[in-house]
Amino acid sequence: MGDQRSNDGATPRWRPGHEPARDTSRIEAFSDAVIAIMLTLLAIEMLQFDPVLARRVGLINALTQKWPSYFAFLLTFLVIGQIWITHHNLWRYVERVDQGISIINLLLLAFVALTPFGAQLLAESLVDLPRDQACIAAALYSSIMLGQAVAFNLLLWWAHRQCLLHDDVDDDLYRAIARRYLFGPALYAAALLLSFFSPQVGLACYLGVILLYLFPGAGDLPSGRVSAGLVQSG
């Protein structure tokens, strides 16, 4: 059996807590790929056109009958786009990667991978299902969105707890980003509760999240409090 100690016999070559720090490039590239694939699958699944139906009822009527799918595609595309922008901005602050943040990021991507399925449920909930079934479908969609929002908060919390953020990210900036990130879970939780009463009313909460992140805020772009070195590293 090989000796697990260094040549001087004093210190182990490796032990828990002494793993070399890893940069963020691989996890960012993998996340970008997953999000891009999910957007592609979303378009393939939701933007379907039936030429037989178009010949029978006319192009405009055929497209009109598909409006729930097109609406679900547009809304979900905007939500995933917001996820990508937030993910990109967050990882401008993360300087190092450990096992924990990799697992939490995989949890986030799991919810992203569920979004095409959730979009189909949302489209069905708008017109084709009985009210009780529509409420369940809308609630499942809201649960997927709530899951990814919670995962974002876990990512930020873990990165701060494990000192994975850039050294120039001070406590004030961290708290400002953390407060902003809480809006997502709050609005999606509201959408989840409203889904059991009116799936259509719950849609306003999704639009609220999208509108919220249209306006720059803490965590969206490197703050002036962060040094020029952090801006260049992003």
| Chain segment 50-69, per-residue pLDDT in tens | 777 778 888 888 788 888 88
Q: Which residues have C-beta within 8 Å of that of residue 138, sequence separation ≥ 6?
A: 121, 122, 125, 195, 199, 202
Give pLDDT, residue 229.
Answer: 44
User: In the predicted model, what is the mean pLDDT of residues 76-102?
Assistant: 91
Give pLDDT, residue 157.
Answer: 96
User: In the predicted model, what is the mean pLDDT of residues 176-198?
Assistant: 90
Angle between helices 131-161 and 171-181 (to 10 degrees): 170
Distance CA 131, CA 137 (A): 10
Burial of 94 (C-beta count, 10 Å sphere; 0-12/13-18/19+): buried
Give pLDDT, residue 226.
Answer: 44
- Specify the pTM: 0.79
**Better pLDDT: 219 or 105:** 105
